[in-house]
Amino acid sequence: MSEERLIEIESKISYQEDTLQELNKVIYQQQKQIDRLEAICASLVNHVRDISDAMAENSVANEKPPHY
């Protein structure tokens, strides 16, 4: 194997390692964002349930008729 060929292979490996590190960083950041968004969604679901429960308690269907 010639010296030039070996240097070319080493350069390609180095480039691939750099690319892999960058991809890992991107994946890590994306996972953090997904975790934050899942937490926000869970919070919103709980908030909507609380509002729905409060509205159900105050709805006309649950009011006593006027003769009571």
pLDDT in tens, 38-64: 999 999 999 999 998 888 777 755 566
| C-alpha torsion sign, points 54, 56, 61, 64 | negative
Asked if residue 68 lies in contact with residue 62, where contact means CB atoms within 8 angstroms, the answer is no
The span from the CA of 61 to the CA of 55, in Å, is 11
Q: Is the pLDDT of residue 66 over 90?
A: no
Rounded CA-CA distance 24/53 in Å is 43
- Mean pLDDT score of the chain, rounded to an integer? 90
Is residue 65's pLDDT more than 90?
no
